[in-house]
């Protein structure tokens, strides 16, 4: 099967070179990578030249430049519009890095024709010497544990090219694609060995802004399609919270703070979606997630 990678980027000059190099270096028996495309959405910094330099003239590489930023969902639709022969589309963030073997692990499940979408395992690089770092690590470990039971896919995803567009109004593109793929009668798979390194929010305000937007997007998705991601279910969240805490690695204070911040963010997201009707499809970049070394 032929595959294409779309590296989605908006002003990612700090991380785009590492992201591109990590994709170009991937290999494996299931990986037939035909194209690597950086979708540069209205970038006003050095994202594009740094991406080109990192690709070092690789014939698979190209830039798809959008003059203005219209949101990630619209950028994915633009990417889909130029893909003609590829069977599998892979989406990577321009602020993430893939360890060796990640794409091979991501694509292996497509050996089954029943599989329509596969998601990787996000691993935060935040330092655990800070309160926010510990909160981010705890919450992403919870996401990992939940995805092992009922796939919730994000940060690194691959899907069969069974759709031609993602609604531009969506603020949760991976969840939207989950719904579209499942509507085709295809399965979701979580691939824990497909690691993707990312940096979670480093401040309380950035955390609330990111999680608020995501929850509002999930509420909009549920209203439009009747589809809920697994992390919307308290029946799943509460036991997973307990098990993750009991496994160790997070103190009582970290867990309490994580619950309080996530609850507040979801409350704000509910306000945006249900009361204000706020559009989160083109969101403000979260600055503290853009430095992989902090």
* Cα distances (angstroms) measured from residue 181 to each of 121, 164, 230: 19, 11, 15
State residue 249's pLDDT score. 73
State residue 284's pLDDT score. 84
Token pair listed for 128 = 């655990």
Chain length of the chain: 294
State residue 294's pLDDT score. 56
State residue 250's pLDDT score. 87
State residue 291's pLDDT score. 72
**What is the full per-residue pLDDT of the chain (294 aa) written as tens digits?**
899 999 999 999 999 999 999 999 999 999 999 999 999 999 999 999 999 999 999 999 999 999 999 999 999 999 999 998 899 999 999 999 999 999 999 999 999 999 999 999 999 999 999 999 999 999 999 999 999 999 999 999 999 999 999 999 999 999 999 999 999 999 999 999 999 999 999 999 999 999 999 999 999 999 999 999 999 988 889 999 999 998 877 899 999 999 999 999 999 999 999 999 998 988 888 888 887 665
Distance, CA of 56 to CA of 282 (rounded, Å)? 31
Task: Determine, yes or no, domain membership for 291.
Answer: no
State residue 246's pLDDT score. 87
State residue 283's pLDDT score. 80
Which structural domain range is residue 199 located in? 3-283
Task: Determine, yes or no, domain membership for 9.
Answer: yes
Residue 95 backbone class (left: φ over 0; alpha: ψ -120 to 50; beta: rest): alpha
State residue 285's pLDDT score. 84
Task: Determine, yes or no, domain membership for 290.
Answer: no
Distance, CA of 68 to CA of 89 (rounded, Å)? 23
Distance, CA of 227 to CA of 224 (rounded, Å)? 8
Radius of gyration in angstroms for the set of CA atoms belonging to the chain, rounded to a whole number: 18
Task: Determine, yes or no, domain membership for 293.
Answer: no
CA proximity to 201, closest of 189, 186, 188, 212:
212
Q: Which residues pair with 90 in a beta bridge?
A: 5, 158
State residue 290's pLDDT score. 81
State residue 270's pLDDT score. 97
Any idea what the CATH number is for the domain that residue 83 is in? 3.90.550.10
- What's the number of domains the chain is made of? 1
Task: Determine, yes or no, domain membership for 233.
Answer: yes
């Amino acid at each position: 099967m032929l595959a294409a990678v779309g590296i989605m980027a908006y002003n990612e000059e700090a991380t785009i070179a590492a992201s591109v190099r990590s994709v170009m270096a991937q290999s494996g028996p299931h990986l037939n990578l035909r194209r690597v495309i950086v979708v540069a959405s209205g970038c006003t910094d050095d994202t594009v030249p740094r991406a080109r330099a990192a690709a070092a003239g690789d014939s698979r590489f190209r830039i798809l430049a959008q003059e203005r930023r219209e949101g990630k969902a619209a950028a994915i639709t633009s990417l889909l519009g130029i893909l003609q022969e590829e069977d599998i589309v892979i989406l990577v963030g321009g602020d993430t890095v893939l360890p060796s073997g990640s794409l091979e692990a991501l694509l292996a499940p497509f050996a089954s024709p029943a599989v329509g979408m596969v998601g990787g395992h996000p691993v935060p690089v935040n330092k655990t010497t800070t309160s926010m770092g510990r909160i981010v690590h705890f919450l992403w470990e919870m996401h990992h544990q939940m995805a092992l039971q009922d796939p919730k896919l994000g940060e690194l995803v691959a899907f069969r090219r069974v759709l031609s567009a993602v609604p531009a109004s969506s603020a949760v593109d991976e969840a939207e694609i989950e719904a579209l793929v499942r509507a085709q009668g295809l399965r979701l798979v979580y691939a824990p060995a497909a690691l993707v390194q990312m940096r979670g929010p480093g401040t309380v305000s950035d955390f609330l802004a990111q999680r608020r937007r995501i929850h509002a997007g999930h509420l909009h998705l549920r209203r439009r399609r009747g589809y809920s991601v697994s992390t919307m279910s308290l029946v799943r969240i509460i036991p997973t919270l307990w098990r993750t805490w009991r496994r160790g690695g997070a103190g009582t204070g970290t867990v309490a703070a994580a619950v309080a911040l996530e609850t507040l963010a979801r409350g704000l997201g509910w306000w945006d979606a249900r009361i204000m009707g706020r559009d989160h499809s083109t969101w403000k970049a979260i600055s503290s997630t853009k430095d992989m070394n902090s």
